[in-house]
Amino acid sequence: MYAGDILLLAPSVTALQQLLYACEAELDLLDMTINVNESACMRIGPRYKVKYERIITVDGREILWCDTVKYFGVYLTAVTIFRCTYDYMKRSFYRAFNGIFGKVGRAASEEVVVHLLKAKCIPVLYYGLDSCHINNEQAMSLDNAVHSCIRKIFLNKRPRCCKHCMLYFECSSVLEMVKKRKVHAKVRDVRK
C-alpha cells in the first residue's frame, strides 16, 4: 500500500475527523504528511446534500468536499447510495478509439479496426465495471459508446446493421461482459 492509496471510511463527519487525526499520527511516525491538494472528502447516503462541516488536518489545512472522487481509476459519486459514474471512462474510451481511428482509419480493413477496438479501447470502457452495480441506463449508455464506434467503422447508422456487426465480431454488450467477468471471478475464487 502506498500513502496515496489510503481511503478513510467513517459513519459521520465527526468520526471522519477523528479518523483523520489518527491517520496523521501514524503518518507522522513514518515522517509523512497528507497532501491536501490530492485529498478529498465525499459523503454518500441520505444526507449527502447536507452542508458540510470542515475537515481539518492537525496543522490546520482544510480537505475539500467534492461530488466525485477518483479511486484506483474508478469514479465514485456522492449520492444516496454507493454508485460509480462512468462518464470519465466513456471519454477515455472515445479518446482511445479516435486516436486509433485517426491513425489507421480507412487505411486498414474493418476487421483490423474492430480488433484494435476490442483489444485497446473496450478494456478502457470496461475498467472497474465490476466494482459497482450497473443499472440499465448506465449499461445502455456504455453500449451506445461501442455502437457509435462500430457505426463509424462500417459507415452505417442503422441499429440492425450495428447489431449484426457486433455479433459477427463477437463484441459482447456491457451487461453480458459484466456477467462473464463475475462468473470468471467466482470460478477463480473456487479454484483458490
User: Which grid cell is 146?
Assistant: 461501442
Q: Which of 73-77, 117-121, 165-169, 180-184 has the lowest mean pLDDT?
A: 180-184
| d(C-alpha 54, C-alpha 63), whole Å | 7
Q: What tens digit of pLDDT does each residue of 55-105 get?
A: 999 999 999 999 998 888 888 888 888 888 888 999 999 999 999 999 997
- Structure letter (DSSP) for residue 121: I
Q: What is the pTM of this model?
A: 0.74
* Distance of alpha carbon 98 from alpha carbon 117, whole angstroms: 10
Do 149 and 185 form a contact (C-beta atoms < 8 A)? Answer: no
Tell me, what DSSP letter sits at residue 33?
Answer: -
| Pairing assessment for the beta strands 62-63 and 68-71 based on DSSP bridges | unpaired
pLDDT interval class at 1 (50, 70, 90): very low
Highest mean pLDDT among 61-65, 134-138, 155-159: 61-65
